[in-house]
Structure formats: structure tokens, C-alpha cells
């Protein structure tokens, strides 16, 4: 049984709180530093369960099953089967999620982006083992890169997804991510970014209205979902931001 203290720390990680909270001296941790392609990545091992990358826990299939991820992103298997065939898809902050493998299994041209991919400077604890296996299996479809500086051409992607990355970063980083997402989207393309808190959702909407309102149409939706980590269940409510990059003719109408 996990003690109350350990359990609360697990949830602290599960809910992706700030770097400062995660690096208080009471956390027994082991740090490693690596630099690859000018992208600094700091790994920190937290107990038996988690690997933190630059202070953010890497999660995926063991915490957020595909059904929950797709529900939070507001997509269905049927949508994907019917309309994604010739689309270029990017998932950002993908971690070890089942979303990318799902797209690939449907024959969709999908790639996943994360800061730590192709960098094996972490230890083999619970999530470390899963991370290693994930890169071995899906490596050809994984891009190591920063969501704030996505190494892809402007206007090259039809659909962008992100599940539980933006809740881990401050507003200015959320802005940088949203700017990059809008840049890489094709006109007519769509992005679905899940994980904004209430204030975050409001701030990012204000930002988009002021800075990109002409180029895009957007909406947000609050969603309550369940996190189940090793039988310990919790509910959480966050917002989904959906951005559509407008075609010239749609811009004139709006």
C-alpha cells in the first residue's frame, strides 16, 4: 500500500505540477543531463515510477488509456477511419501515449514529437522501461523536438494533437506552442490541444483573439476525465482548445 504522503506525491506528478514543486529537497532524485542537437534535456528519476524530463513527468499508456485520450481530444475511431487517410498528423508532447500507435495502425501518416526521443540518458525504472520500449518500437515515426520550436516546415501538417502537455507549462510557453502549431498547420488544418486550466484557457483565448484572430477560428470545451494510476483513481477537469486555420475565403466570411 502506498502511504498517504507517497500517494499525494504520485498525484502531484500525475497532475503535472510545477518544476519547483517537483524538485523540493524532500524528493529523492537522480539527475542526468544530456544535450542532443542543441536541445537540452534533463532527466530526473522520481522513485520507482516516473521519469521527469525537464521537470515534467513522461506519461502515456500506463496512465491515460487511448479511450480517455481520444475522449479528451474529441475524436472518434470512425472520424479517423473516414477522414484521416491522406492527412499528415503530428502529436506533440506525445510521451509514451497510445495515440500515435493508434494512428499508425489506422494507416495514417502520423509522427510524434517529444523533447526526449532518441536520447537514452534515463534510468530503467517503471516508466523508463516503457520509454525505452516505445522508442525502439516507434522510433521511425518519432521526432525529437521542442513544441516551442517545431522542426517542421510552415503549412505542412493537416492535424495537430496534444494531450496533457500545455498543463505543464506557463502561459508564455503555451503561447509559443500555440504560435508554432498555427505556423505548421496547413490552411484548412485543425489543432486540438488538451490540458488548459480555467485561467490558462481564458488567457490563451485572449491571446489568440488579439494576435491570430484573423488567421484562425477557435473554441474551447471543459472536459472532466478520470486518471487511473495503478488502481488509484482521480477526476480532473481541463479544457480542450480547438483551432482551425482559415482558408482565405473563410477569412472573408468571418
Ligand X SMILES: C[S@@+](CC[C@H](N)C(=O)[O-])C[C@H]1O[C@@H](n2cnc3c(N)ncnc32)[C@H](O)[C@@H]1O
Does residue 135 interact with ligand X by CB under 6 A?
Answer: no
Q: Which is nearer to ligand X, 6 or 149 (CB)?
A: 149
CB of 235 to ligand X, least distance (A): 16
**Residue count, binding to ligand X (CB under 6 A):** 26
Query: Strand order of the sheet with strand 39-46?
Result: 29-36, 39-46, 50-53, 56-57
- In the numeric block, which cell numbers belong to residue 54? 525537464
Minimum CB distance to ligand X smaller for 187 or for 223: 223
166 touches ligand X by CB under 6 A: no
Is residue 64 part of the contact set for ligand X (CB under 6 A)?
A: yes
- Nearest approach in angstroms of CB 214 to ligand X is 27
**Spatial CA neighbour of 163 closest among 239, 229, 103:** 239
| Residue 148 touches ligand X, criterion: CB under 6 A | yes
Residue selected from 165, 185, 191, 243 as contacting ligand X according to rule CB under 6 A: 165
Angle between helices 198-212 and 171-184 (to 10 degrees): 50
| 57 is an interface residue for ligand X by CB under 6 A | yes
Determine, following the binding rule CB under 6 A, whether residue 147 of this chain makes contact with ligand X.
Answer: yes
Least distance (Å) from ligand X to the CB of residue 141?
15
Residue 60 binding ligand X, by CB under 6 A: yes
DSSP result, 26-80: TS-EEEEEEEETTEEEEEEEETTTEEEETTEE--BTTTS-HHHHHHHHT--HHHH
What distance in Å separates the CA atoms of residue 95 and residue 115, rounded to the nearest whole number?
A: 9
Dist CA 77 CA 66 (whole Å): 10
Cell numbers at 2, concatenated: 502506498
Give the span between the Cα atoms of 178 and 176, in whole angstroms: 6
Residue whose Cβ sits closest to ligand X = 95
Angle at 139 between CA 99 and CA 103, to 5 degrees: 25
- By beta-carbon proximity to ligand X, the closer residue of 129 and 247 is 129
- Determine, following the binding rule CB under 6 A, whether residue 127 of this chain makes contact with ligand X: no
Residues 176-235 that bind ligand X (CB under 6 A): none
Task: By CB under 6 A, name the binding residues for ligand X.
Answer: 16, 53, 56-60, 63-64, 69, 92-95, 97, 113-116, 146-148, 163-165, 168
Amino acid at each position: 500500500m502506498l502511504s498517504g504522503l507517497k500517494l499525494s506525491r504520485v498525484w502531484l506528478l500525475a497532475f503535472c505540477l510545477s518544476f519547483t514543486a517537483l524538485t523540493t529537497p524532500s524528493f529523492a532524485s537522480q539527475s542526468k543531463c544530456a544535450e542532443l542537437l542543441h536541445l537540452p534535456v534533463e532527466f530526473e528519476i522520481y522513485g520507482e515510477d516516473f521519469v521527469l524530463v525537464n521537470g515534467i513527468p513522461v506519461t502515456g499508456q500506463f496512465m491515460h488509456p487511448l479511450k480517455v485520450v481520444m475522449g479528451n481530444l474529441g475524436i472518434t475511431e470512425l472520424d479517423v477511419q473516414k477522414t484521416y487517410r491522406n492527412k499528415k498528423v503530428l502529436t506533440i508532447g506525445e510521451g509514451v501515449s497510445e495515440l500515435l500507435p493508434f494512428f499508425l495502425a489506422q494507416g495514417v501518416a502520423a509522427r510524434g514529437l517529444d523533447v526526449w526521443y532518441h536520447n537514452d540518458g534515463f534510468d530503467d525504472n517503471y516508466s523508463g522501461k516503457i520509454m525505452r520500449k516505445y522508442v525502439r518500437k516507434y522510433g521511425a515515426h518519432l521526432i525529437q523536438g521542442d513544441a516551442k520550436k517545431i522542426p517542421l516546415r510552415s503549412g505542412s501538417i493537416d492535424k495537430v494533437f496534444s494531450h496533457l502537455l500545455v498543463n505543464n507549462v506557463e502561459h508564455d510557453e503555451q503561447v509559443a506552442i500555440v504560435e508554432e502549431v498555427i505556423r505548421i498547420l496547413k490552411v484548412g488544418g485543425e489543432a486540438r490541444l488538451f490540458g488548459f486550466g480555467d485561467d490558462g484557457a481564458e488567457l490563451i483565448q485572449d491571446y489568440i483573439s488579439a494576435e491570430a484572430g484573423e488567421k484562425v477560428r477557435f473554441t474551447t470545451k471543459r472536459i472532466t476525465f478520470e486518471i487511473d494510476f495503478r488502481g488509484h483513481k482521480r477526476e480532473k477537469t481541463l479544457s480542450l482548445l480547438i483551432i482551425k486555420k482559415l482558408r482565405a475565403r473563410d477569412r472573408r466570411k468571418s
